[in-house]
Amino acid sequence: MHETLNPAGPARPSAAEANEAIRHLVETRVDGEWPSEAYEFLLAEWAEASRAEVSPAL
């Protein structure tokens, strides 16, 4: 019998948590530089959480 293992890493943030992290990143950037890598990572986290939180339409 095959068992499915849960990932050992940290849980993904909720869409609201990822959105808050994006806002914080944008508001606290230094020297007017755009933190593109961090922004892209957080945006992907937000997108994944948003998909998981939305139920399919019937």
Could you report the per-residue pLDDT of 9-51, keeping only the tens digit for each?
567 789 999 999 999 999 988 887 888 999 999 999 999 998 8
- What pLDDT score was predicted for residue 2? 53
- What pLDDT score was predicted for residue 9? 57
Nearest to 52 by CA among 4, 24, 2, 18: 18
- What pLDDT score was predicted for residue 32? 79
* Paired tokens of 14: 């909720």
- C-alpha 19/C-alpha 25 separation (Å) is 10
- What average pLDDT score do residues 5-10 get? 57
